[in-house]
Structure 1
Amino acid sequence: MLHAGVDIGSKTVKLVVLDDDRELLYDSYERHLSNVRETLGYTLARARMRFPEERMTIGVTGSAGMQFADLLDLPFAQEVVAARTAVERRIPQVDVAIEIGGEDSKILFLTGGEELRMNSTCAGGTGGFIDTIAGMLDMNAGALNYCAHGCRTVHAIASRCAVFAQMDVRPLLNEGVPKEDIAGSVFDAVAAQCIAGLACGRPISGTVALLGGPLHFLSALRERFRLRLGLDDAHLEVPPDGHLFVSEGAAFEAWDSVPYGLGELIGRLESVPWDRGATLERLPALFATDAEHDAFVRRHAALAAPRADLSSAEGRVFLGIDSGSEAIKYVLVDEQGRVLRTYYERSAGSVVEAAQAMLVDLWKHLPLRHDGTLAVEVAHACVTGYGEELLKRAFALDSGEVETVAHVRAARELVPDADFILDIGGQDIKCVWLRDGAVDDIVLNEACSSGCGALLSGMAWSMNVRLDRFLEAAVHAQRPVDLGTRCTVFMTSRVRHAQKEGAELGDIAAGLAYSVVRNAVYKVIRARDAASLGRRVVVQGGTFMNDAVLRAFENLYGAEVARPALAAHMGAYGAALIARDRAAAGGRSGLLSRAKVERLASSKRTEVCGRCGNACRLTVTSFDDGDAVRTFTVGNRCERGLGDGAEDNGLPDLFAYRYKRLFAYRALPEDAAPRGAIGLPRALGMYDLYPFWHTLLTRLGFRVVPSRLPVAVLRGQALETIPSESLCYPAKLMHAHLVELAERGVPAAFLPYVRAEGPEGWSCPVLAGYPFVLDANVGFVHERGMRLVMPQVEAVLGDDGPDGRLAAALQEALEPVAHGLGLEEVERAARAAACEQVRFRADMVSAGRAALALMAERGVPGVVLAGRPYHGDPAANHAIPGLLRSYGFAVLTEDALPAGTCSGGAGKGVSGPAKGGRQGEAVGGDAAPVRAGSADDGGTSRWEHPARILRAARFAAGRDDLEFVVLYSFGCGLDAVTVDQARAVLKKRGRSLTALKIDEMVDLAATRIRVRSMVAAREERLGRGDAR
């Protein structure tokens, strides 16, 4: 008897045939490109050629398998169960098995208590993720694997979904990071995601098997798993048929079922009726008739920039370049602003090479006089986009401009009465509101690019269809599929479902066009309705060159909008106009000549920066044009890494001051600490209450040992202990700090549960309850013998000193490590600790007053950089405070603002109602407490730290010399609400908010765009003379 197993996954169809001795007789591994039914029929037909008459039991598994098991009346096994069965039969010596598929991954703990786990809906850390990034780099997975073996430097890349990863990869490409390093970093990110997202805090130990297609075919990926898990050859199992294990498991699960001939099965597959897409929800067609489409095309072709013939041009010309996330463009204009030539090509992951080809095209098309000299002279070249700094250095361009400003400049040139501009590019969305022709507000997508062109191009690529054909089909679709407005990865699942239901290509493409604009309007702009955007709306960017996307937006908006004929070139067009504005009379561009462009050579080296404590690993690219060498540096977390010798501007950075002041406490010498050592992990709540806890424990006779990770790294034991991939990054960092203390042999760690810091506001649930999460997941720490001291504290500080319930809770928790500890001793220590916490907060307010005074004296602006206290961790804030300071801003924290601005919650003189004044008003130097419902602008919160942010927003909104920037973490529901509340507070005063969403991704390129956009909006606001 023969036994077959079929695994119908999200990307492939696998079939195996075994004999009674479990020997593999036949196997097939085919990508189905979403044509699942056809590929299954082809796979079975090929197997029938080998086994024309034999009968066999047949089991089915896989994410797409259940539907076909039902259609063919075959036994179905859930894929995790099938994987376990195969491992038990094939490699019973294994303790843990990790299997990666096209859009799912699994981990099987087979000893020490069996657990079978599978990833969530998100396809991060899977083969589909690898395929997406490989396509972005213009290669397949095999070529990515080859590149990864040459990796020398691993960069931080998020792998929880391909969309976020592209936000990391694109800046690396635009900054000239070698593809080898990017490929290795992608595989490292996949390994990290699988370990953290699947193990969820359970140690991966013993013998580990690596299974599934990606781990079978991609040797560099296997190596990254081996390094991440610290495995030697004796504890690593890589079966030669590991990519077929799940299908073999299906065969084992159906071992005793009814046998069939393959011919019988093929006949049944062909005869089963299939109602294509009957269960799918539908949307209105983009165009009701062809005539409607024709009228639409004519209308949008009318908005064109003035043009002139380049071949007859003379005199000075001006070059604008846009190095975008997916393509590189240029526009050349004359002194009248007429367009002489345009250029558009995909960068295909090689920005410098693409720019070389672009500039050769420019020089090749410039007209010549009869004597062979150029008839025109490039007077100025301006560049914008993600690759701005790289191309400026590589090709000696004259200036750069942030892309929001370039796009606004172009739009105002063509549509002077525009009051709203929406630009959707490959990976970003720019929304600009104009008032009286000047910028009134700017909003950019925070990180996710699910409403951008990358979604459409990625979907087309995954379906093996050219993008132009994909979108042309959308235009003519009559029954678009409603794919929702959620994250790209979840929409991918909806697309897969639609394909399995038999939806037509055009219906899916049109549904995606609707999804892109819905995400832009409702997720990024967060408009109540599309009509609230403005009266005269201009849309631009490469994505809007697609008629399907534009029509979907007009249908949603409910009116006609303006799309310039240069929509895909608007960044370059704006840069060209800016170049014309900036060109000096009679000046000449420093742009490299054609000969220098063609012979430009580059080389790279890596070095560790020693200019500050970050110790960044830098990639330095040298560009040699034969006459001069220019360098470009990436990897620096602060401006010192550029090594350009720029002097410090002397502006206050209260983030740096706070960090230094917060941890400026000395520990007792060993001989002066009768109760021994106790560790304080410098993460989460310690960034607010460290002065309190350090003082209290020192007064009780402990030698306080702080963790020493100025820039924590989540690797090894720390990574394995994280219980959920959806945790915010600051919570994940707590694991690194605790593991570091355990590795140093610290006997105990102090991890208080704090429900509220003061009487008026609650602590974040994650921040408050995280000690219990750690206790349940840090097996490594317990194995090292470290005791976790976890007092449960209702409140730390009252209106007049420490909370009255505090001492008893501390005495009970500390008793096991401090025998004979008396209640009165704890009470005395708590009073001293409360006084020190008051002193710390008073010092912060004093530093804030000094900073505001210096701003007034020097006439410089400042930024209130708000966020949670733990965003003061250098690992969490990625040197963003220093970046803001480098743009000429003094940087203030929300707890450094004058009293009455933020919650004191720190005892007498700092907390408590302001006597004789309104809530939030500075009276006698005292701060008012946080009270629900105290504001008339909707900005209230019962949560301690969100309330501080809202008070800080009110303070910044009332001062022309302050901008408001808020840091918030992925996965934080409270912060997501708080940011919207703060934005409303500022908007009521005619001011805007800049939100920077942060986690382990270190993408300062995107942050710089947001900061420079804020600067541009500020300049426009002040130039217009707005008082608020």
Structure 2
Amino acid sequence: MKYKIGFDIGSTTIKAVVLDEYNHICYKSYERHMAQVRQKALDKLRELKCYTKEPFQFAISGSGALGLCEQGNIPFVQEVFASAQGVHTFFPETDVAIELGGEDAKILFFKGSIEQRMNSTCAGGTGAFIDQMASLLDMDLSQMNEASLHFHRLYPIASRCGVFAKTDIQPLINQGVDKADLCASIFQAVVDQTITSLAQGRKIEGNLLFLGGPLYFLEGLRNRFKETLKMEEDQITCPETAIHFVALGAALCAKESFTFEQLEQKLLDLVNQPITLEESSPLFESEQDYEDFMKRHRSHDVQHASLKEYKGKAYLGIDSGSTTTKLVLLSEDHKILYDSYSSNKGNPLDVVLKELKTIYQINPDICIGGSYATGYGEELMVHAFHLDGGIVETMAHYTAAKAFNPDVDYILDIGGQDIKCFKIRDGHIDDIVLNEACSSGCGSFIETFAKSLGYDAKEFAKIGLQAKHPVDLGTRCTVFMNSGVKQAQKNGASMADISAGLCRSVVKNALYKVIRAKNKENIGKNIVVQGGTFQNDSVLRSFEMELQREVIRPSIAHLMGAYGAALYAQDLHPENSSLLTYDQCCQFTHESKSIACQGCTNHCSLTVNTFFDGTVLVAGNKCDKMIKTKKNNLNLPDLYKDKMELIHQYIDKYKHEKKIGMPLVLNNYDLLPFWSAFFDALDYEVIWSSPSTKKMYHQGQQSIPSDTACFPAKVVHGHIEQLIGKVDTIFYPCMTYNINEKQSDNHYNCPLVAYYPEVIAGNMDLKNTKIIYPYLSFDDVKTFVNALILHFKKAGISFTRKQVLQALDKGKEEYLHFKDQLVQKHMQAVAFARDNHYPIIVLCGRPYHLDPLINHQMNQLLTQLGFVVVSEESVPRLQRQKVNVLNQWTYHARLYQAARYVCENEDMNLVQLVSFGCGIDAITTDEVRDILRKKDKFYTQIKIDEIDNLGAARIRLRSLKEAIAQKEGR
């Protein structure tokens, strides 16, 4: 009997399969290797002596095996080839195979020639992603799977990156959303990631094979795939070998023969390979160096007092963060009577309730003079426990930092998944930076690595202090860092060197990816660092070494948000706090249910929280419709809302028997008045697609060919799907140039905006609907007319030259009228704001940022905060001014004009909306910021994507409001 052995060494596990000469499985195993790849492979080979005879054929596959095979001269099989071989042998009827691993995700298409798609730079939508989410919910995978089978409602959750997902999930946890709904929503996010990012426009259809651990173990995940892809049960197969399939394929592909002695010696040589160390300086040169460091930081301490014996008023601060909840109870002379720092474990309310009971039990007579909350769960805490109020995180941290250094000019707070940096100038917050797209500079980044290597976070941090040669892992995302760690381990780096290297990477990511510091002078001279991550002495030391400057880390760095909230509560000096009493805490109950708001077509997913005393908190809403609140419901002027109303008037204005479809996307949000009037003159009614919805986006996601396109471009596919079948012909022209507004060196469209019609025509199944997508330019009337006549003639529609010229004139006239209306509404809004003393925000972006799905109704959030909102295109045209960049894009020129306009008006500030992934905005953001800073104006940037959680945006905008108030002395 001849045997074949295949190993699959992945990012987190090692799988082994033994086949006999008839391809029957004699043995299979699936185990985590805890990054000890070489030793685990050797142990596994020794174990297999009982299951096979020699000589045997052997091969290895998997993302963690290539280096091992190269150094040991062991046969390697590319994992996609191994999977394909397994499919052909055991499941030849398969059309598509989806394999999800620890950090790898793959799709294989078997119709026609074999084609594979694989993740490259992100582990979103993989097993590692699901593991992170399970940890956040304080559940194991089996609990998560079981819960998902009983869900009632799905919530939109990002899957591209763990930081996005955590940012979406944490507020839902804080709002009290049912865990069953969260688990199913996380699985749905994995499905969406697979369809949009991996399939990249190719449809998943026919017979589907599920492979890999997540799909094998998680029935709830398989169900989400089945329902999303609308497949029948008999189309889907998830074999018993799903978790061993690459190893099975490697065994099938094994050709080279070995004896146990030969192969064991090769693996033993790899285990004993000499260590290769990098040349790098240690964190501490000596024990005395470390002692001096600790002594200096111990000096920034806070005094404590006995809660049990305290008689005066006390002040409570609660910081409900993304992964942890912090409480601080202060005496009247600012001594800490009680503090706590706890993991949320998926339910921050239970954490706070337990701590409040403990406070009352220690001192039943305690008199709470004031209580305030901050953090992501601020609103939930205020309503649940009847706190006196809430304070935005940035102000809470600034208030705390001033207690340690009144001259503080820079604060850096690194939490579990958040980085917050604020620069202080003249006693007020001048600039705020938050991480938006990456968690690699945060505490959860180190914690996740520590767990994957078999350590808890504190133990892993201490190990780093002993490093002699910290590994240089650079400033990269978690996926690449995983590869770097594996390479370091392969080279023999110690756990201490890896720990210290990761801590240095956290610091570099924070400084160079989030803050984008050009030099240390940009940071400040009086720096206070805080947040749980800076409790890690290795991170703190790395930060000081990188800056070559000493900083202040308070002894309560991990409690600074709660400490600042408590100080803020004391400053207000309320007579008595409305905080729940001990008896009320004992009666406390909380129920939540999910509903869909029917107030408008957005149908926001709302969570209705009901507490023991009848208090109700509705969370998840983007406006105040259908919800009774104590907020000022004054309908403040909002140019975004006004423009949308004007657009709807155009949609309903022209009626004709002949119809032509156009998608309401990208530059059509600017040109809709033109095209509506243009086709009206030709006796055609334009059937515009409706404003974007999540449902529409998902209807088109299978035809999106690139994950790197911005969300506004991805949405186009859903709009086209909506028009297919409604009209016989869709008109969607390519436009290299915009209308020339004579405010820039040239007037280009962004390439995606200009040529996305080509993408649609080349990647979508339009069925029987025709699409006309000529290249048009308003600058060349002759070419415009000829191209339009020619392309419509090909579609069987005839226009004369005279008709098109007349239509062109009418379209331009209506376009200019539309722009004049916007300027008039702008002037009316400004007059109202000044008459009634409201601050004004110029909310800048692109025309398509008017789409409510794309802007996530940021304009409504601003009006709720008490701002009058105008838009960049409504700004009266100023005299053209020189900028420091090549000014060749029409929409960019509007941004620069708006920034100049804001600088000339004391009561205005600017907020810029940027679509995540927009390369061109890397230029605009810096230029707009420079224009504003020269006139001492705040610059606020909001990055937006398909995920509509407003947590980070709300923090930023509330901070802007507080900073404006501080600057004005209020």
Instruction: Report if TM-score (shorter chain) is over 0.5.
Output: yes
Kindly state the Cα deviation for residue 446 of structure 1 after the two structures are TM-superposed: 3.1
Contact 2:177 2:593 in 1 (8 A): no
Pairing of 1:58-207 with structure 2 (within 5 A): 58-207=58-207
Q: Which amino acid aligns with 1:957?
A: C
Using the alignment, how far apart are the partners of 2:437 and 2:269 within structure 1?
48
1:763 aligns with 2:749: yes
Kindly state the Cα deviation for residue 647 of structure 1 after the two structures are TM-superposed: 5.5
1:648 aligns with 2:636: no
Pairing of 1:817-828 with structure 2 (within 5 A): 817-828=795-806
Kindly state the Cα deviation for residue 150 of structure 1 after the two structures are TM-superposed: 2.2
**Aligned twin of 1:33:** 34
Q: 2:424 aligns with which of 424, 434, 451?
A: 434
Structure 2 counterpart SS, 1:345: strand
Pairing of 1:610-621 with structure 2 (within 5 A): 610-621=598-609
Is the alpha carbon distance of 1:661 and 1:163 closer, same or farther for their aligned partners in structure 2, counting shifts above 3 Å?
same
Contact 1:940 1:947 in 2 (8 A): no
Structure 1 counterpart SS, 2:308: helix
Kindly state the Cα deviation for residue 191 of structure 1 after the two structures are TM-superposed: 0.7
Contact 1:8 1:61 in 2 (8 A): yes
**Aligned twin of 1:8:** 9
Kindly state the Cα deviation for residue 72 of structure 1 after the two structures are TM-superposed: 4.3
**Aligned twin of 1:701:** 683
Q: Which amino acid aligns with 1:707?
A: S
Q: Which amino acid aligns with 2:757?
A: P
Is the alpha carbon distance of 1:489 and 1:980 closer, same or farther for their aligned partners in structure 2, counting shifts above 3 Å?
farther
Contact 2:173 2:347 in 1 (8 A): yes
Contact 1:118 1:198 in 2 (8 A): yes
1:987 aligns with 2:970: no
Q: 1:878 aligns with which of 852, 856, 865?
A: 856
Pairing of 1:894-933 with structure 2 (within 5 A): 894-900=872-878, 918-920=879-881
Structure 1 counterpart SS, 2:735: strand
**Aligned twin of 1:46:** 47
Using the alignment, how far apart are the partners of 2:885 and 2:234 within structure 1?
59
Using the alignment, how far apart are the partners of 2:760 and 2:798 within structure 1?
27
Q: Which amino acid aligns with 1:301?
A: R
Aligned residues: 964
**Aligned twin of 1:663:** 648
Larger displacement relative to structure 2 (548-557 or 499-508): 499-508
Structure 1 counterpart SS, 2:31: strand
1:593 aligns with 2:574: no
Using the alignment, how far apart are the partners of 1:704 and 1:508 within structure 2?
61
Is the alpha carbon distance of 1:683 and 1:347 closer, same or farther for their aligned partners in structure 2, counting shifts above 3 Å?
same
Is the alpha carbon distance of 1:939 and 1:629 closer, same or farther for their aligned partners in structure 2, counting shifts above 3 Å?
farther
Using the alignment, how far apart are the partners of 2:919 and 2:6 within structure 1?
44
Q: 1:414 aligns with which of 401, 404, 413?
A: 404
C-alpha deviations, 1:503-532, integer Å up to 9, x for none?
A: 211111111111111121222222211233
Is the alpha carbon distance of 1:967 and 1:239 closer, same or farther for their aligned partners in structure 2, counting shifts above 3 Å?
same
Kindly state the Cα deviation for residue 259 of structure 1 after the two structures are TM-superposed: 2.2
**Aligned twin of 1:909:** none
Contact 2:155 2:605 in 1 (8 A): no
Kindly state the Cα deviation for residue 713 of structure 1 after the two structures are TM-superposed: 2.8
C-alpha deviations, 1:76-104, integer Å up to 9, x for none?
A: 21111111111111111111111111111
1:349 aligns with 2:310: no
Structure 2 counterpart SS, 1:17: strand
Kindly state the Cα deviation for residue 567 of structure 1 after the two structures are TM-superposed: 1.1
Q: Which amino acid aligns with 1:774?
A: I
Q: 1:1017 aligns with which of 952, 957, 963?
A: 963
Using the alignment, how far apart are the partners of 1:602 and 1:414 within structure 2?
38
Q: Which amino acid aligns with 2:582?
A: R
Structure 2 counterpart SS, 1:439: strand
Is the alpha carbon distance of 1:516 and 1:71 closer, same or farther for their aligned partners in structure 2, counting shifts above 3 Å?
closer
Is the alpha carbon distance of 1:984 and 1:940 closer, same or farther for their aligned partners in structure 2, counting shifts above 3 Å?
farther
Contact 1:228 1:715 in 2 (8 A): no
Contact 2:833 2:840 in 1 (8 A): yes
1:1003 aligns with 2:944: no
Using the alignment, how far apart are the partners of 1:555 and 1:617 within structure 2?
47
Using the alignment, how far apart are the partners of 2:210 and 2:912 within structure 1?
42
Is the alpha carbon distance of 1:837 and 1:573 closer, same or farther for their aligned partners in structure 2, counting shifts above 3 Å?
same
Using the alignment, how far apart are the partners of 1:275 and 1:210 within structure 2?
38
Residue identity over aligned pairs, in percent, reads 39
Structure 1 counterpart SS, 2:833: helix
**Aligned twin of 1:915:** none
**Aligned twin of 1:504:** 494
Using the alignment, how far apart are the partners of 1:116 and 1:342 within structure 2?
53
**Aligned twin of 1:266:** 264
Q: 1:634 aligns with which of 619, 624, 640?
A: 619
Q: 1:359 aligns with which of 345, 356, 373?
A: 356
Contact 2:11 2:64 in 1 (8 A): yes
**Aligned twin of 1:577:** 567
Structure 2 counterpart SS, 1:619: strand
C-alpha deviations, 1:311-349, integer Å up to 9, x for none?
A: 332121111111111211111112222222221112122
Using the alignment, how far apart are the partners of 1:498 and 1:153 within structure 2?
44
Structure 2 counterpart SS, 1:150: coil
1:679 aligns with 2:679: no
C-alpha deviations, 1:193-251, integer Å up to 9, x for none?
A: 01111111111111111111111111111111111111001221222212222111111
Q: TM-score, normalised by structure 2?
A: 0.96
Aligned structure 1 segments of 4 or more residues deviating by more than 4 angstroms: 273-277, 666-670, 714-717
**Aligned twin of 1:957:** 903
Structure 2 counterpart SS, 1:791: coil
Q: Which amino acid aligns with 1:661?
A: L
Contact 2:697 2:715 in 1 (8 A): no
Q: Which amino acid aligns with 1:176?
A: G
Using the alignment, how far apart are the partners of 2:660 and 2:608 within structure 1?
43
Note the residue ranges of structure 2 that are not aligned, 5 or more in a row.
Answer: 741-745
**Aligned twin of 1:925:** none
Pairing of 1:217-296 with structure 2 (within 5 A): 217-254=217-254, 257-272=255-270, 274-275=272-273, 278=276, 283-296=280-293
Pairing of 1:191-590 with structure 2 (within 5 A): 191-254=191-254, 257-272=255-270, 274-275=272-273, 278=276, 283-366=280-363, 374=365, 376-584=366-574, 587-590=575-578
Kindly state the Cα deviation for residue 138 of structure 1 after the two structures are TM-superposed: 2.2
Contact 1:668 1:704 in 2 (8 A): no
Q: Which amino acid aligns with 1:732?
A: K
C-alpha deviations, 1:553-596, integer Å up to 9, x for none?
A: 10011111111111111111111111111122xx2211112232
Using the alignment, how far apart are the partners of 2:716 and 2:694 within structure 1?
9
Using the alignment, how far apart are the partners of 1:498 and 1:746 within structure 2?
59
Using the alignment, how far apart are the partners of 1:712 and 1:274 within structure 2?
55
Kindly state the Cα deviation for residue 748 of structure 1 after the two structures are TM-superposed: 1.6
**Aligned twin of 1:924:** none
Is the alpha carbon distance of 1:804 and 1:409 closer, same or farther for their aligned partners in structure 2, counting shifts above 3 Å?
farther
Note the residue ranges of structure 1 that are not aligned, 5 or more in a row.
Answer: 369-373, 901-917, 921-933
Using the alignment, how far apart are the partners of 1:853 and 1:593 within structure 2?
48
Using the alignment, how far apart are the partners of 1:564 and 1:968 within structure 2?
35
C-alpha deviations, 1:388-418, integer Å up to 9, x for none?
A: 0111111111111001101111111221121
Using the alignment, how far apart are the partners of 1:337 and 1:580 within structure 2?
9
C-alpha deviations, 1:686-713, integer Å up to 9, x for none?
A: 1111111222222223231111244243
Q: 1:718 aligns with which of 685, 691, 700?
A: 700
Contact 1:136 1:349 in 2 (8 A): yes
**Aligned twin of 2:743:** none
Contact 1:668 1:698 in 2 (8 A): no
Using the alignment, how far apart are the partners of 2:121 and 2:492 within structure 1?
22
Contact 1:531 1:557 in 2 (8 A): no
Using the alignment, how far apart are the partners of 1:615 and 1:135 within structure 2?
30
Contact 2:103 2:479 in 1 (8 A): no
Using the alignment, how far apart are the partners of 1:643 and 1:261 within structure 2?
77
